[in-house]
Amino acid sequence: MNDLVLLNERLSQNGYWNKPIQYEHGTPDSEALDLYDQNGYDLTDLEQRFAKINLGPDKGHRYRRALKYDWFAQSKKKTTGAVLNHACLFERKAYTGAAKEQLETWAKENNLIYKLIAMRPKWGLDFSIDYVDAEGNAFEVFHWEFDGFDFAEINKKKKQMEGKLLSIDWDKGGRDLLQRKDEWHGLGFFEQSDWKCNFFDIEKERFKMVIWS
């Protein structure tokens, strides 16, 4: 049985922020770019400020830490069997127009800001489902991530994956994996990912792509 529910969230084709921000402290210092994430989707303090201004008040909650949207849910709360861990859509914006001009002015004093100027728009898909049972078994059934800089490619992959993920009986998949645990449990991270992608007949992952152009 498949008890996943596809939600209504969509990725935005617009990959850029163009509105400048009000910054009360002159040029942003190094702390405004602490923990810069060059591979993923976590936002620095400075990126969060741009997100808040460019998203507007009705979507302001989305800027906290990452531009992340729920992709799937489960139709009921479960404490055994296949349990959805997370299913998310991600975005990371680059900068254009007045927003980019503002960054370029600041970057003359704080070269770290060139990290933001050099960014490309990026989109990502992330799906993770676990398995637990009354016998004490607990493991990750399937975890799949896919990143890219081409909106059309990622949006097409999203639609393809939705049909595939909704077609799989994840409870049965978990039980089947348990029976074949000796084939995959001792594998390394990437080898185990490839094994499970082959098992579920899903394209291999592609993620952690560096965001700079």
- Evaluated on CA atoms 115, 116, 120, 121, the torsion sign reads positive
Cα 161 to Cα 14, 56, 133: the distances in Å are: 22, 30, 27
How many C-beta atoms lie closer than 10 Å to residue 186's C-beta?
Answer: 9
Report the C-alpha gap between 92 and 65 in whole angstroms: 11
Question: Looking at the domain assignment, is residue 212 inside a domain?
Answer: no
Predicted confidence at residue 64, as pLDDT, reads 62
CA distance 210 to 212: 6
CA distance 34 to 18: 22
pLDDT at position 62, please? 59
Query: So what's the pLDDT on residue 58?
Result: 57
From the list 181, 174, 165, the residue with the least C-alpha distance to 127 is 165
Q: Smallest Cα–Cα separation from 61: which of 50, 51, 47, 46? A: 51
**210 located within any domain:** no
pLDDT for residue 63:
57
* Tokens standing for residue 192: 């185990």
Cα–Cα distance, 91 to 11 (Å, whole number):
7
Name residues of the chain where pLDDT drops below 50: none
- What is the reported pLDDT for 60? 52
The range of the structural domain enclosing residue 71 comes to: 4-8+15-200
Q: Is residue 24 part of a domain?
A: yes
The predicted pLDDT at position 172 comes to 98
In a domain, 104, yes or no: yes
pTM of the shown model = 0.94
* 207 found inside a domain: no
Question: Whole-angstrom Cα distance, residue 74 to residue 90?
Answer: 19
Q: Is residue 183 part of a domain?
A: yes
**How many structural domains comprise the chain?**
1
Is 120 a member of any domain? yes
* pLDDT at residue 65, as a whole number: 87
Tell me, yes or no, whether 211 lies in a domain.
no
Distances (CA, A) of 81 to 28, 58, 131: 49, 37, 5
Q: For the segment 69-108, what is each residue's pLDDT rounded down to a tens digit? A: 999 999 999 999 999 999 999 999 999 999 999 999 999 9
pLDDT score of 1: 78
